[in-house]
Structure 1
Amino acid sequence: MVADDFRQKIKIFADRVVTLAPRCTNEESTKLFLILPFLNFLGYDDRNPDEVCPEHGADFSEKYKNRVDFAILKSGQPIIAIECKTLGTALKDERGQLRSYFNAAPTVKMGVITDGLVYEFYADSDEPNMMDATAFLALDLREVAKGKIEDSVEEGLRSLQKNNFDPENIGAEAKRKLIFQNVIQQIAKLAEDPSEPFVRLLLQNAGLSHVRTKALTEFREITKNAFREFVNLRILQRLDIPSKDKELEKTITQEPVSTEVIAKNDDTLVPSSIDMEVLHYIKRRLAYLAKEDTLFDEIENVDYRKYKGKFVVFHKKERAGRLFDFYDGKVKKYHFDFGPDFGGEVSTDKLTDIDKFLNNVFVKRVSEEEAGKKRTQSVKAAQGL
């Protein structure tokens, strides 16, 4: 079964159970219409009590009884324990019972708690038969029904299928997934607030070994913008939307810039982080605003030039194709000059406020360029060239 086929089957299954969910008003209907079909989806025979056993017990003694709603059995021994709750129940308050069963049944290698739409999967990655405090995999079928499923979740579900599930290795696999989640959280934190050591490491890799502490503030902003641009490009690729933005490619492929060059050109040639933020935004926004393929194709011809005190953005030709001049705002964060024919000066704290001005001037510049091409072709035709 190829990955895309499995992903599609998950989506189809999620669509069905989300549709049925409103009719599940108690625990029994949740089990019958949502949870048992999920076990069946993973390949377990929910009609065979020797494989899916309801109300399975693992007791420390006659006094201390431990029951789970379902246990997946292998050779008569429980390997997966499933605790079921009524749809909409907060799962975080219901983990104690599952933890007790997990501890009482030595052969159990995975615990699941679910309300039929939200699933949390636990293992014993730190200590045998001691359920981890953190789920190594979490799944919300409502999000899956919307088409939102991470590769790591798809991979995790695949490993839980009956034909793939390995009780002896699930603890090690869970440990890897927990570490993966932790790394993702750290990356997210660095994207929002890059640390000084992290920024210095990136700069060293870019050929900038000696950067003064005072200059780090701007480089931290550049790092944050680079993270955002990286994520945006990956989203476009995931959606199979071609990106016309070549700025990131230029950044990646260009030779390392020495600190001497930056110091020499800082006032005249090197855009600031806010300049680049504006440039990346307007290219993405023009892609959204473009009503015709020709306009979308022309976005790759948007270019810029940095002067002391202003940042000029244009289409193909700096003078004839000028879109706007950008200045760091004094009263408000952004200050644009679109020229007298396209709204003049605009100050704002929200970039979405420039949509109308930006679209109008871009459409005009592209149409002027096309008209110029046609005139040139007519002249050449008349001259027999």
Structure 2
Amino acid sequence: MEFEERLSALAAKVGNQREAIQTEEATKNAFIMPFISTILGYDIFNPLEVVPEFSADVGVKKNEKVDYAIMRDGEVQILIECKKSTEPLKIEHASQLFRYFSVTNARIAVLTNGEVYNFYTDLDAPNKMDDRPFLVLDLNEIDETIVPELKKLTKEVFDLDSVVSAAEELKYVGAIKREIAGQFKEPDEAFVRLFTSRVYEGRFTQDTKAQFTQLVSKAAKQFLNERVNDRLKTALGASETAMPVQVSNGEAVTSAEVAESDLDRDTELETTLEELEGYQIVKAISCSEVKPERVAQRDAKSYFAVLLDDNNRKPIARLHFNGKKQKYIGIFDADKNESRHPIDGLDEIYLHADAIRETVKGYIS
């Protein structure tokens, strides 16, 4: 299993078991130890590689321990402090990390609740852990751009110098991206005032603030949706005019007509626009292996199916978008066993592109 696949598998495990994990020890056993073992590649049962309840009393308070220390060549390289998964991470939780960072050779410290992993180093002052992480891994929404940096911390290709040299850029780019995401989700007054001043010449009163807070939030969400649609159109090779697709009877139809037929189909079911957009992404991925007209869809009460040749025995993927909170994409293995992976947006379907293509290849080989 490739690194990215192991990461996705752990993310799925976290999504499936989140509600059952209520304590710090359960979080360690279910989420964090598998992360150290399957993602970073260290043997959690080998004390020469992973030391649980690590203690270094020199210059720090007595009887305090860091949950895990990852060792290489007899030296501490990574310190890991754990909190329970139901508890959001705060810098106040990292008191042991701050103290132990200065008295060990560790250059990387990790604060985690099993779902979010905050990685710290000493950019601001030598041997003093920074207040802000340089890398944040959220298993609920994996940022593809940080995966190569995370891979550098694995046992197989451990490259500390490369990670630290890239840490400053990662720290600020990541922080800016998270700030932008937060503003798009819930814009604050400064963000609203900035865009209001660009389009509105009146005074920024309380009524204006209330009005434009809603407008800025709406515009931001529409902007993101349009970017997703643009990416989809690019993947499909669409131009400004609808692309004609040859169907089995030899007649040409446009993509607009196909979309209309999708909406008309199974009228007793509620087929949403989001499901159709997800279907088009899966279809675009599959088109590297088969002609577009061979990729069909069927809606059901509990899921939206993407099929090869409109055949229930040839499922390519399933979109589980009916839940109010978490969405999932179902991926099939060679034996047609479905594994469900949580996704927070349509873009994350692309994370499973390789698996989707392998499923299609299995049907046509």
Q: TM-score, normalised by structure 1?
A: 0.49
Is there any run of 5+ residues in structure 2 with no aligned partner, and where?
A: 202-211, 242-255, 266-272, 274-365
Match of residue 137, structure 1, among 135, 138, 142? 135
Does the CA contact (< 8 Å) of 2:82 and 2:111 recur in 1? yes
Distance of 2:99 and 2:50 partners within structure 1? 20
Q: Partner of 1:203 in structure 2? A: none
Tell me by how many angstroms 1:161 deviates: 2.0
**Relative contact order, higher structure (CA 8 A, sep 6+):** 2
Instruction: Please give the per-residue CA displacement for 1:327-373, whole angstroms capped at 9, x wherever unaligned.
Output: xxxxxxxxxxxxxxxxxxxxxxxxxxxxxxxxxxxxxxxxxxxxxxx
Does the CA contact (< 8 Å) of 1:30 and 1:87 recur in 2? yes
Alignment of 1:37-56 (within 5 A): 37-41=34-38, 42-56=40-54
SS at 2:70 equivalent: strand
Distance of 1:289 and 1:126 partners within structure 2? 59
Residue 176 of structure 2 corresponds to residue 178 of structure 1: no
Q: Partner of 2:155 in structure 1? A: 162
Structure 2 CA distance for partners of 1:164 and 1:119, relative to 1, 3 Å: same
Count of residue pairs brought into register by the alignment: 231
Distance of 1:172 and 1:163 partners within structure 2? 19
Distance of 1:185 and 1:61 partners within structure 2? 35
Q: Partner of 1:110 in structure 2? A: 108
Does the CA contact (< 8 Å) of 1:194 and 1:224 recur in 2? no
Match of residue 12, structure 1, among 9, 13, 30? 9
Structure 2 CA distance for partners of 1:162 and 1:133, relative to 1, 3 Å: same
Match of residue 76, structure 1, among 56, 61, 74? 74
One-letter amino acid of the structure 1 residue matched with residue 74 of structure 2 = G
Does the CA contact (< 8 Å) of 2:42 and 2:50 recur in 1? yes
Structure 2 CA distance for partners of 1:128 and 1:34, relative to 1, 3 Å: same
Is there any run of 5+ residues in structure 1 with no aligned partner, and where?
A: 200-212, 215-220, 248-283, 297-385
Distance of 1:244 and 1:229 partners within structure 2? 20
Q: TM-score, normalised by structure 2?
A: 0.51
Over the aligned positions, Cα root-mean-square deviation in angstroms equals 4.3
Instruction: Please give the per-residue CA displacement for 1:153-207, whole angstroms capped at 9, x wherever unaligned.
Output: 32333233222332234332221111212443676779966969xx8xxxxxxxx
Q: Partner of 1:122 in structure 2? A: 120
Instruction: Please give the per-residue CA displacement for 1:99-134, whole angstroms capped at 9, x wherever unaligned.
Output: 1111222x1111111222222111112212211111
Tell me by how many angstroms 1:76 deviates: 0.9
Residue 263 of structure 2 corresponds to residue 291 of structure 1: yes
Structure 2 CA distance for partners of 1:89 and 1:187, relative to 1, 3 Å: closer
Does the CA contact (< 8 Å) of 1:109 and 1:124 recur in 2? yes
Does the CA contact (< 8 Å) of 1:122 and 1:134 recur in 2? yes
One-letter amino acid of the structure 2 residue matched with residue 96 of structure 1 = S
SS at 1:160 equivalent: coil
Distance of 2:261 and 2:133 partners within structure 1? 42
Distance of 1:63 and 1:9 partners within structure 2? 38
Alignment of 1:341-360 (within 5 A): none
Match of residue 235, structure 1, among 207, 228, 235? 228
Distance of 2:49 and 2:58 partners within structure 1? 23
Distance of 2:96 and 2:55 partners within structure 1? 12
Does the CA contact (< 8 Å) of 1:66 and 1:104 recur in 2? no
Distance of 2:3 and 2:44 partners within structure 1? 20
Q: Partner of 1:97 in structure 2? A: 96
Does the CA contact (< 8 Å) of 1:34 and 1:116 recur in 2? yes
SS at 1:291 equivalent: helix
Instruction: Please give the per-residue CA displacement for 1:34-74, whole angstroms capped at 9, x wherever unaligned.
Output: 21111011211111110001111222348645521110001
One-letter amino acid of the structure 1 residue matched with residue 12 of structure 2 = D
One-letter amino acid of the structure 2 residue matched with residue 101 of structure 1 = Y
Structure of greater Rg: 1
Does the CA contact (< 8 Å) of 1:122 and 1:136 recur in 2? yes
Does the CA contact (< 8 Å) of 1:66 and 1:100 recur in 2? no
One-letter amino acid of the structure 2 residue matched with residue 154 of structure 1 = V
Distance of 2:72 and 2:32 partners within structure 1? 19
Tell me by how many angstroms 1:77 deviates: 1.0
Distance of 2:240 and 2:223 partners within structure 1? 12
One-letter amino acid of the structure 1 residue matched with residue 147 of structure 2 = E
Q: Partner of 1:28 in structure 2? A: 25
One-letter amino acid of the structure 1 residue matched with residue 67 of structure 2 = D
Structure 2 CA distance for partners of 1:159 and 1:71, relative to 1, 3 Å: same
Tell me by how many angstroms 1:289 deviates: 10
Structure 2 CA distance for partners of 1:166 and 1:243, relative to 1, 3 Å: same
Q: Provide the identity percentage.
A: 33
Structure 2 CA distance for partners of 1:15 and 1:239, relative to 1, 3 Å: farther
Does the CA contact (< 8 Å) of 1:112 and 1:121 recur in 2? yes
Distance of 1:290 and 1:73 partners within structure 2? 56
Does the CA contact (< 8 Å) of 2:22 and 2:86 recur in 1? no
Distance of 1:97 and 1:289 partners within structure 2? 60
Distance of 1:153 and 1:62 partners within structure 2? 33
SS at 2:80 equivalent: strand
